[in-house]
Chains A and B, each alone.
Chain A
Amino acid sequence: MVYASSSSKRFSDSASETLPLLAYLILASALMLTDHRMNIGQQTRKQLSVVIEPVWWLASLPARMWSGVDDELATRQALQDNNERLVRELQIVNARMQRMSAINVENQRLRDLLNANRNGSLQVQMVSILDVDLNPYRQRIVLDSGSLQGVKIGQAIMDAGGILGQVIEVTGNKATALLVTDADHAIPVQVARSGFRSIAFGTGEPNSLLISDIPQSADIRIGDVLVTSGMGGRFPAGFPVAIVESLKPNDTGLFMVGRAKPAARLDRGLEVLLVNEIIPSPPITKPVIGTPTPIAKPDATAEAGKIKTP
């Protein structure tokens, strides 16, 4: 009986089902188109962050519990080894820092002589990564801090190896970052050795960047370190981005195409650094303070500006 009624109803059913299907398909397509063109998804996620953030938190729970268990089970020996290694690394890094600060002072003096004003200071903030797999076809990570913690869209993120990516979406307590390897990402770079400038594009694969249209005459070799050039103003200059792995002529044979391996450890690190470059706007009037330190300068000029404007 059930059979008979369902089969006799089938034709009318399919007709009455096709119309809603078409409606939903059109609706979904319209949504996709507007999101692709106008990026409404970003705003929607911001509005609905109250719903989305707890879900992300919930999804990251298993991984967090696992790492907690892992910490508990770590042996004393392993911890000691780890500690020893860290102390050693710290000493080496400290020694290097001493030299760097001397070079930094010298560099600043030379820049002053040249009257170059690229003396923006860096503000660094440590944030942890929320262990959530977003779309696996896109290279994105979720950061466990948001606008309430001072994260802003466009901030560069990096780890101990080098530049990791940039923040593209910020909600109250979370932020989404686009990694340099995402197919949508491009970063202005420069060969550290020769100063040759180019742009490194993400490929969508987790450990490969693409540098296209390199002139045959360009001074670039396999093994060269690519650092940020600071052009465009989004990334601070001079941080390692990738190491050139291969160079091949492109289809026309007139240019070369390079592949580079990201310097940052793009697998799940625990914490990353958010970098904020403060570029002091060139003073219009004579600065109030004589020789400001780089860190104090932006605040001082900003305050001076504030006092003068009213």
Chain B
Amino acid sequence: MIRQSSTVMRAASLLAGLLFQIIPLPSGLDLARPYLLALFLCYWCLETPEKTGLGTAFIYGLLADLFSSGLLGEQALRLVILVFLVSRFRARLRFFPLWQQALAVLVLLLNDRLIMSLLHWLVNDHALSWVAWLSPVLGMLLWPWLFVAIDMLRLRAREKS
């Protein structure tokens, strides 16, 4: 029962992350859109590593590429790298205090942006504007809230069952 509610919540949060990628934001702000999908994947990789592996990251990344009509495989590649790093340092990350975790998330997201600008450079796209680099910072600021919110939801689901 606990397993099930957690599974449902994981799928729901990741789908919300996918949806958030294409929800319209005011122009200008859309470049700084926090990468919620990556944050959710990061959370579930920390909490349920046996169910959130590279395959999950790849599939959700591919879906994100399909929906956002970007280069097929771009986000898949970025998310696979992100999840690999998280699972590699999972033992340490899990026991960090929340603010330290948020800093680690910032580094992960900055790394993700770096990979992204490299990929854009490879396919001869123009460089990212400076606003795009605000996205990791927003992600870092969001991380503690997301973490606590999902934890509370899971606790409540556990109490109910």
Instruction: Enumerate chain A interface residues (CB-CB to B < 8 A).
Output: 3, 6-7, 10, 14, 17, 20-21, 24-25, 27-32, 34-36, 40-41, 44-45, 48, 52, 55-56, 58-60, 62-63, 131-138, 140, 169, 176, 183, 203-204, 206, 267-268
Residue of A35, A56, A133, A136 ringed by the most chain B CB atoms within 10 A: A136
Q: Number of residue pairs across A and B with beta carbons under 8 Å? A: 125
**How close is A186's CB to chain B, nearest CB, in angstroms?**
14
State whether B70 touches A135 (Cβ < 8 A): yes
Instruction: Give bound CA distance, A48 to B62, whole Å.
Output: 13
State whether A60 touches B24 (Cβ < 8 A): yes
Question: CB within 8 A of B69: which of A14, A28, A36, A169?
Answer: A169
Instruction: Give bound CA distance, A206 to B131, whole Å.
Output: 14
Instruction: Give bound CA distance, A21 to B128, whole Å.
Output: 27
**How close is A106's CB to chain B, nearest CB, in angstroms?**
43
Q: Which residue of the partner chain A has the closest CB to B70?
A: A135
State whether A28 touches B67 (Cβ < 8 A): no
What per-residue 1/0 map shows which CB atoms of B1-34 lie under 8 Å from chain A?
0000000000000000011001111010011010
**How close is B84's CB to chain A, nearest CB, in angstroms?**
5
Question: CB within 8 A of B80: which of A25, A135, A140, A176?
Answer: A25
**How close is B25's CB to chain A, nearest CB, in angstroms?**
6
State whether A36 touches B54 (Cβ < 8 A): no
Which residues of B sit under 8 angstroms from A183, Cβ to Cβ? Answer: 125-126
- The prevalent SS among residues of A at the interface is helix
State whether B67 touches A131 (Cβ < 8 A): no
Q: Which residue of the partner chain B has the closest CB to A2?
A: B91
Q: Is residue B154 within 8 Å, beta carbon to beta carbon, of the partner chain?
A: no
State whether B58 touches A28 (Cβ < 8 A): yes
Given contacts A41-B69, A203-B126, A59 and B22 within 8 Å (CB-CB):
yes
Q: Is residue B114 within 8 Å, beta carbon to beta carbon, of the partner chain?
A: no
Instruction: Give bound CA distance, A267 to B57, whole Å.
Output: 33
State whether B68 touches A134 (Cβ < 8 A): yes
State whether B69 touches A135 (Cβ < 8 A): yes
Which residues of A sit under 8 angstroms from B71, Cβ to Cβ? Answer: 32, 35-36, 41
Which residues of A sit under 8 angstroms from B25, Cβ to Cβ? Answer: 133
Q: Which residue of the partner chain A has the closest CB to B57?
A: A24
Instruction: Give bound CA distance, A63 to B19, whole Å.
Output: 13
Given contacts A29-B77, A35-B71, A58 and B19 within 8 Å (CB-CB):
yes
Which residues of A sit under 8 angstroms from B24, Cβ to Cβ? Answer: 59-60, 62-63, 131-133, 268
Given contacts A10-B91, A41-B69, A176-B69, A136 and B80 within 8 Å (CB-CB):
no
**How close is A127's CB to chain B, nearest CB, in angstroms?**
17
Which residues of A sit under 8 angstroms from B141, Cβ to Cβ? Answer: none
